[in-house]
């Protein structure tokens, strides 16, 4: 699976936490350092499992199986709020303006 942040997401980094506004409901979410690191790692072209293995497991000292279980649930929740988009093939950055940028 490939995951990218939706181009409609408004996000701001405040210290180690990210504040995100759901584009559909204008509801605000605050991500802890794990969620922030994960969202920043999403580029739409790297498989989700590779991101978890290379970045999340290493940075947070967690095994791959546990991390994948948590990340898959997290992605499901983010997708419900249109914060991320998922696909079975790489997502092109041209279709995701501002992809990966957090101000």
Q: What local confidence, expressed as pLDDT, does residue 29 receive?
A: 92
pLDDT band at 31 (very low <50, low <70, confident <90, very high): very high
Q: What is the 3-state secondary structure (H, E, C) of 16-31?
A: CEEEEECCCCCCEEEE
Q: What local confidence, expressed as pLDDT, does residue 34 receive?
A: 86
Contact 3, 75 (CB under 8 A): yes
Average pLDDT over residues 19-37: 88
Task: Provide the phi-psi class of 64: left if phi over 0, else alpha when psi is between -120 and 50, else beta.
Answer: alpha
Instruction: Give the rounded percent of residues in the chain with a pLDDT score beyond 90.
Output: 50
Pairwise pLDDT comparison (103 vs 25), residue with the higher score:
25
Q: What local confidence, expressed as pLDDT, does residue 4 receive?
A: 94
User: Roughly how many angstroms between the first and final C-alpha of the chain, as a whole number?
Assistant: 26
- The CATH topology of domain 2-91 is Outer Surface Protein A; domain 3 (3.90.930)
Task: Encode pLDDT of 64-99 as tens digits.
Answer: 999 999 999 999 999 998 899 999 999 865 434 444
Q: Is the pLDDT of residue 43 over 70?
A: yes
């Amino acid at each position: 699976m490939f995951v990218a942040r939706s181009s409609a997401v408004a996000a701001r980094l405040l210290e180690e936490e990210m504040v995100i506004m759901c584009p559909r409901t204008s509801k605000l979410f605050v991500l802890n350092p794990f969620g922030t690191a994960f969202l920043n790692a999403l580029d739409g072209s790297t498989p989700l499992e590779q991101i978890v293995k290379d970045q999340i497991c290493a940075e947070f000292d967690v095994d791959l199986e546990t991390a994948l279980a948590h990340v898959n649930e997290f992605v499901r929740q983010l997708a419900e709020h249109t914060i991320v988009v998922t696909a079975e093939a790489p997502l092109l950055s041209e279709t995701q303006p501002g992809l990966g940028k957090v101000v």
